Chains A and B, each alone.
Chain A
Amino acid sequence: MANRDAMDAGIGGEIVTSHTSQLDRIINLARANSLHYLLFGLACCGIELMQFGGPRADADRFGAVFRATPRQADFMIVAGTLTYKMAERLKLLYDQMAEPKYVISMGSCANCGGLFQLAYSVCKGVDKVVPVDVYVPGCPPRPEALTEGLLRLQDLVMRERWKDKRRPPAPSQAGGQRA
């Protein structure tokens, strides 16, 4: 883990592994190894998302299987270009997921609007609508890159503490509150 610590010292979250209790560790171990993701393949990154679940870069070996319904999902992989029209549906599905929930933003379009940043109908990044935990860069990111994103998410989950598990809703960058 030395390399990861060195990488994370500048850009990662705080490393608090020494502060988690034994109970935290057991619970987080169970949670991290069975993260079910909501399929949200919107565009070309969806193809790589499929391969991420495919045989070579197998997501299932990490316990991550896809769920088609947000009610049964632990996190959401937003793969592809988000348009304004779709952004409202994305928020709706995100709100339907149960806590604790996470979001992986996959590909440049989901990170920042990507190739279509100047387009009139493209939302410039998923984090304008939902709070994002892991950004996976690429156009499209290789399935191995998405696997790395999943492992980072697992690290994030392993670092959480039971008493802090209900994190307050993050203020998303969207100005208005849609009913």
Chain B
Amino acid sequence: MTTTEIHEKLKAQFGEAVGPLSEPKVDPFAVVKTDRIVEVCRFLKDAPGVELDFCEDLTAVDWPKRNVIEVVYHLFSYKHRHGIVLKVEAARAEPSVPSVEGVWKAANWMEREVFDLFGVTFTGHPDLRRVMLPDDWVGHPLRKDYQEAGGFHGIPNLRENPLVELRRIDEIRIAEHAKNNPPPAPAAAKAPAPAAPAGGGAPPAPPAPPAGPKA
């Protein structure tokens, strides 16, 4: 059954709750009304001849200009080897979508991931909590307006450019070495020579243990 035929069946069953199929691209999608998504999914899973028993993927897309977060369902059928993509639009301010976890168990963790990264609440989900980020993480990172909180639990999230940092450390060490071992004769220009300022290519030094034994 082609995707168009699956879409025809959907339209026959649900009427205006299912939008038109998108242009024939790689994965044609249809936008479904948010409150009917569970019925649509259950129909797609159980209808004879359609039987989309595999929830391949469940992700989201953040559209700040359109002020929606789209939740995307990639559905496939092992039995008939056909599939369709559905999209549901959730308002960006308080995104809330009914959970399809009752239809496909695979949606359990996928919806947790969407909650973790986008902040979309799935009503009816048995265990909606963060799945990848630490439990006390603030914010939803994949939103377009996400700002990092400047570190986590005291670990800062900024780092000097290693090229700049290593050059600075090199120069401190060279100065110390030159101070401790003054050049033996005015003609000997050996002291600054070994300091090959190889910049970024320099193998990073093993820094002496802080308060290590001083010469």
Contact = CB atoms under 8 A, between A and B. Distances in A.
Interface of A: 6-7, 9-16, 19, 84-85, 87-88, 111-113, 117, 120-121, 123-125, 128-129, 131-135, 137, 152-153, 156, 159-161, 164, 167-168, 170-171, 173-178
Contacts of A117: 159
Interface in B104-139: 132-134
A162 B177 CA distance: 24
Given A10-B194, A112-B159, A124-B159, A84 B208 contact: no
B196 interface: yes
A111 B159 CA distance: 11
Given A14-B214, A123-B157, 6 more contacts: A11-B169, A14-B208, A84-B155, A137-B204, A156-B206, A176-B153
Contact of B152 (A14, A16, A84, A164): A84
Contacts, number: 115
Nearest to A121: B133
Contacts of B208: 13-14, 156
B207 A132 contact: yes
A80 B177 CA distance: 33
B64 interface: no
A111 B162 CA distance: 9
Interface in B74-96: none
20 contacts: A11-B170, A12-B205, A13-B207, A13-B208, A14-B180, A19-B213, A88-B153, A121-B141, A124-B159, A128-B156, A129-B155, A133-B209, A156-B208, A160-B212, A160-B213, A164-B212, A173-B156, A174-B156, A175-B151, A177-B154
A111 B212 contact: no
A125 B148 contact: no
Interface string B162-187: 10000001100110010010000000
B116 to A, nearest CB: 11
A134 B133 contact: no
A114 B169 CA distance: 19
B188 interface: no
Contacts of B48: none
Nearest to A104: B206
Contacts of B203: 11, 137
